[in-house]
Amino acid sequence: MAVVAHSEIGAITIVRGGTLTVAHVLHGFGEPRYTAAHPDGRHAYVTDAARGEVVALDAIRGRVLGRARVGERARHITIDPSGSTLWIALGAKAKSIAVVDVTHRSRPRLSGLIKPPFLAHDVGWTPAGTRVWVSSGDRNELAVYNARTRKVIARPRGDLPPQHVTFRGTRAYVTSGDSGTLRVHRADGHLLRTTAVADDSYNVQQAHGWVVTPGLGRGSLCILDPQGKLLRRAQVARSSHDACIVVTA
């Protein structure tokens, strides 16, 4: 299932991955922004920026299970590989990051706040579960945290903010829409490659050997391989905000 947030109308659509048909439409949100999927394939978490909440969903049955107040302007969200902890950036230029316990999947609980070394934008948990990357909303910099201690262990250079991050194995992919770049790093922060992509390519996702970054103001979609080599640039819409990869039978 794919969980799609419609911020302007306060709704969420749940789409069947195999058929790309709408399974459920959920209402009653203020400004749903970003989603994180639980590794069990059933539960998902959505940030509601207007209400400062994170919302737990049953994506199969199309139900809201629980909500927790985490802080104003809750936006980017990431979940650890075990499915027990969320990190949530509280704003596009966040002074704080909320740490949320989801050991009980339907009952999220705020367990603490982290003050990043800059105004944070995106957050991403590495596949190994040992590090969390935080991108900046106000400077050309990133921060890599030890997930257990919640301490910064590396401060890689970045391109123009805001940056977004996704992961494949031991590699991190970081986009800068204002710079028109995608950087490939090792999980420890070491830079491996920089590739030019379309301007306005802010968000980034990866799956099944592809890395994709859509162009917000241009409606483009850049497709890259796991090494960060640009394979194709396509025009897909007048504007494209985010993208995900769905493989059908």
At residue 246, does pLDDT exceed 80? no
Kindly state the percentage of the chain with pLDDT values over 90.
90
Q: What is the pTM of this model?
A: 0.93
Cα angle for residues 230, 193, 149 (degrees, 5° grid)? 120
Query: Does the pLDDT at position 249 exceed 70?
Result: no
Tell me how far apart the alpha carbons of residues 183 and 46 are, in angstroms, rounded to a whole number.
27
Structure tokens at 226: 């796991």
**End-to-end Cα distance, the chain:** 14
Q: Are 48 and 30 in contact (CB under 8 A)?
A: yes
All structural domains of the chain: 1-115 (2.130.10.10)
- Mean model confidence pLDDT for the chain: 95
Residue 8 buriedness (CB in 10 A; 0-12 / 13-18 / 19+): exposed
Residue 144 has pLDDT above 90, yes or no: yes
pLDDT tens digits along 94-133? 999 999 999 999 999 999 999 999 999 999 999 999 999 9
CB 78 within 8 Å of CB 132: yes
Q: Which of 90, 109, 84 lies closest to 47 in space, CA to CA?
A: 90
How many residues in the chain? 249
CA dihedral 174, 224, 231, 200 (to 10 degrees): -40
Burial of 152 (0-12, 13-18, 19+ CB in 10 A): middle
Report pLDDT digits (tens) over 151-180. 999 999 999 999 999 999 999 999 999 999
